[in-house]
Amino acid sequence: MLSLRLLHPRKGITGLTPSSQHYLVITALGADRPGIVNTITRHVSSCGCNIEDSRLAMLGDEFTFIMLLSGTWNAITLIESTLPLKGAELDLLIVMKRTSDRPRPAMPATVWVQVEVADSPAFN
């Protein structure tokens, strides 16, 4: 299973604070074809939404993905109204549900890594 996650500050790309953002989970299922993910992600972006998290998988002959989208009320409403038609064009079954964001633990600004290996002439 492939997992994509776009990490960005909560404020900056859209200029929105978490309380002014709305969230939508979309699930799509259909036959695997080249360009499906590209078409959907471009559509999401054109509606003014961000992809907060996603999961993609092949299950049998079927391709499926789940995405958590964020955006203004207008952006989420726009994707809700236009995605079913886009899904029909791609022969995808689309399910959508509004949700809320979960608090995430703060990421450290610095990560220290210590590596210990046996000395070897190859490391000279």
Pairing of β 93-99 and β 22-31: antiparallel
Alpha-helical segments (H) within 1-124? 36-46, 73-89
In order along its 124 residues, the chain shows pLDDT tens digits of 444 444 444 444 445 555 589 999 999 999 988 999 999 999 999 999 999 999 999 999 899 999 999 999 999 999 999 999 999 999 999 999 999 977 777 777 777 788 887 776 665 5
2-102 folds as Alpha-Beta Plaits (3.30.70)
Tokens (6 digits) for 103: 């608090």
pLDDT recorded at residue 12? 42
Which sequence spans correspond to the domains of the chain?
Answer: 2-102
Sheet of 93-99: strands edge to edge?
Answer: 2-4, 50-59, 62-71, 22-31, 93-99
Whether pTM > 0.85 for this model: the answer is no
pLDDT recorded at residue 19? 58
